[in-house]
A and B are shown apart, each in its own frame.
Chain A
Amino acid sequence: DTGVSQDPRHKITKRGQNVTFRCDPISEHNRLYWYRQTLGQGPEFLTYFQNEAQLEKSRLLSDRFSAERPKGSFSTLEIQRTEQGDSAMYLCASSSGLGQETQYFGPGTRLLVL
């Protein structure tokens, strides 16, 4: 059972640059979630896909953020014109969408914007 994987694990960028993160969910999981976690806080929901459809977006997800899941498998999260306030851990989770479903989390991508 391969879990949720995320790439890269760490990213350092300069303010104003664009960054893209990738998430590979557990195979056959049709739901995929993105969360953001800052120091001393729990994860905060950003957006959610069921297959390739993006069904919910948080108000935290500004216009500079875009997420895709083009074939209903892996997903990408892009941040354009990064700001220092974007520095955080970006977490991906997936779930089966069946019964008493559980969200399984990946290791996260830690972003530092200088």
Chain B
Amino acid sequence: AQSVSQHNHHVILSEAASLELGCNYSYGGTVNLFWYVQYPGQHLQLLLKYFSGDPLVKGIKGFEAEFIKSKFSFNLRKPSVQWSDTAEYFCAVKSGGYNKLIFGAGTRLAVHP
């Protein structure tokens, strides 16, 4: 069965620190990849997505992610986090011609001022 793994369940950083959240998926065919973010008290919002082309994709609020096909990975990065980045981050995959998204368990990020 297809699955998505997010390696860190909780991450605590100080402001201005760099961020990298890991995401690995299990499907070997063509995939569409997504990172969603859920700020406290808000609904899931799209951060960025990859369908094809340049494997380095840029999203909102200074986030970027790199698709590495050989590693089945789509890690999320931000060079300098802010307190307002405190949220839960979900990696998701769409694959195999299906329209449903398969989500990882999420990473809860806390940024301290």
Contacts and interface: CB of A to CB of B under 8 A. Distances in A.
Interface of A: 3, 31, 33, 35, 40-45, 48, 55-56, 58, 91, 95, 100, 102-108
B99 A31 contact: yes
B46 A45 contact: no
A41 B43 contact: no
B43 A42 contact: no
Contacts of B36: 105
B1 to A, nearest CB: 10
Interface residues of B, number: 23
A42 B46 contact: no
B49 A102 contact: yes
Interface stretch (B13-21, B61-69, B70-78, B102-110): B102-110
Interface of B: 4, 9, 32, 34, 36, 42-46, 49, 51, 90, 92, 98-106
Contacts of A35: 101
A48 B103 contact: no
A56 B105 contact: no
Contacts of B99: 31, 33, 48, 55-56, 95
A33 B4 CA distance: 19
B95 to A, nearest CB: 12
B49 A42 contact: no
A40 B101 contact: no
B105 A43 contact: no
Given A42-B90, A42-B105, A48 B100 contact: yes
5 contacts: A41-B105, A41-B106, A42-B103, A44-B103, A56-B98
Given A48-B99, A91-B44, A108-B43, A43 B49 contact: no
Contacts of A107: 42-43
B94 to A, nearest CB: 9
A58 B90 CA distance: 20
Given A45-B100, A45-B101, A48-B99, A104 B106 contact: no
A42 B106 contact: yes
A18 B34 CA distance: 34
A103 B98 contact: no
